[in-house]
Chains A and B, each alone.
Chain A
Amino acid sequence: MKSISFRNSKSGRLKLPILFGALVWVIALAGLTSGCVFIPTPHYYAVGSRRNVTEHSTNLIQTGADTIEDVMLKLGEPDAVSPDERRIAYGSKKIVGQLFVVGVDTDGSDLPDVTQYRFLNVLLDDKGVVTNRMFSKQQISMLTGSIGGGKIKISFQSEWYPGVDVSKPLPPWGQYRIVSGNLMLTESALYFAEESQWLNEQPALSLRYDSVAECRWVKDGVVSPTLIVRTKDNHFHSFTTRDWGQSAQNTVQSACGLIQSKINPTQPEK
């Protein structure tokens, strides 16, 4: 049988079966390690991403001189703001490649995009003057700071079930609602801001701890780690996390611990 071969300048001949074998090994290795192969593409902005903020934008902002209005007049509306407006951020999202899932038959049109985020973070003092600005590739989910005059101690993305104790059977579908957003806890109150809200707006829920009768957290196979709060007038609020891991569990446990320490201040810590 005649084998097809490539010319190689050093060794003379490089047989196709060797190349094919190497390729099979690479794909097999990729498949065994992650199941995916990253295919780099030219970088381009994702649909809906702003394009006017780059690494060079940091040079437009003068630390110690520019105010929040100067920054906005130069770069436009930010993408995120902290509840106390002492932090704003501008973000962009670029597609940098695609993931080829080994073993899945695809024509390439539905390959998942690999994205890269870029954020320009601007920190401001109490007078709204820029104290620092940084460009980062680390994804930011929300900007914390202080709210209602208190520093945010714990925050996480959450689904809020108003009037529902999720540790008990849920009411029939349609008789309760689920609100996506961010839960924020200070030393004196719990706040929930809806996803569609700016964080500097009046939060959808403000609950002072002195109105709370009970706080507990649950984790079972049905819901992700969840914080459940009962008010003194017997209203329930459940807040589920978006993650199921140990980190989410720790966060909810800490949140519950914080609330419990405020509603039962005399109770010794375990």
Chain B
Amino acid sequence: MNSKFLLVLTLVLALVGCATTQIKGHADLLEFLADGKTSKEEVLMKLGQPSGKFESEKILTYRLGFDSHSRGYYVVERAPGMGHEPTWAAWMNTKYSLVLVFDNKDVLRKHSLVEVLK
């Protein structure tokens, strides 16, 4: 009985050890974006902190990964650069760069999804 229990326990532990956290993208993650309608506040609420802010935050950028199983996007945090390349952050796990341009009233004016890992 004890040996069976140990065998099962070993198998369970081995399986847990092999298990990886699966990142699940959301196919509809970007569906809320509409030029002339979506506010910056809405973007920050749904996508979180951007990876880059430019032109007094009129331009926000996000790094997005893509999960081929769910065919959905997920936000990737900007990783700091490697030691000898200090200001150059790597595009790990990232497939797209989302660029959002806002007007003076913080309403989305233009946006584009650029594939960085073609």
Contacts and interface: CB of A to CB of B under 8 A. Distances in A.
Interface of A: 47-52, 68-69, 72-81, 85, 91, 128, 141-143, 157, 180-182, 195-196, 198-201
B80 A196 contact: yes
B47 interface: no
Given A49-B91, A76-B114, A77-B51, 7 more contacts: A50-B116, A72-B59, A73-B101, A74-B112, A76-B116, A79-B89, A199-B87
Given A48-B92, A77-B97, A200 B54 contact: yes
B63 interface: yes
A27 B88 CA distance: 36
A195 B114 contact: no
A51 to B, nearest CB: 5
Contact of B112 (A68, A73, A200): A73
A69 B87 contact: no
B49 to A, nearest CB: 12
A34 B98 CA distance: 45
B97 to A, nearest CB: 3
B115 interface: yes
A48 B99 contact: no
Interface string B32-72: 00000000000000000001111100110101000000000
Contacts, number: 89
21 contacts: A49-B90, A51-B116, A68-B55, A69-B110, A72-B61, A72-B99, A73-B101, A76-B116, A77-B51, A77-B61, A77-B97, A78-B52, A141-B86, A180-B83, A180-B86, A181-B86, A182-B86, A195-B80, A199-B87, A200-B53, A201-B53
Contacts of B90: 47-49
Nearest to B99: A72
> Which of B85, B87, B97, B114: most chain A CB closer than 10 A?
B87
A49 B89 CA distance: 9
Given A51-B118, A195-B81, A73 B110 contact: yes
Interface residues of B, number: 32
Contacts of A78: 52
Contact of B91 (A48, A180, A181, A196): A48
Contact of B99 (A73, A81, A157): A73
B87 A182 contact: yes
A77 B86 CA distance: 17
B55 A76 contact: no
Contacts of A77: 51-52, 61, 63, 97, 99
B80 A85 contact: no
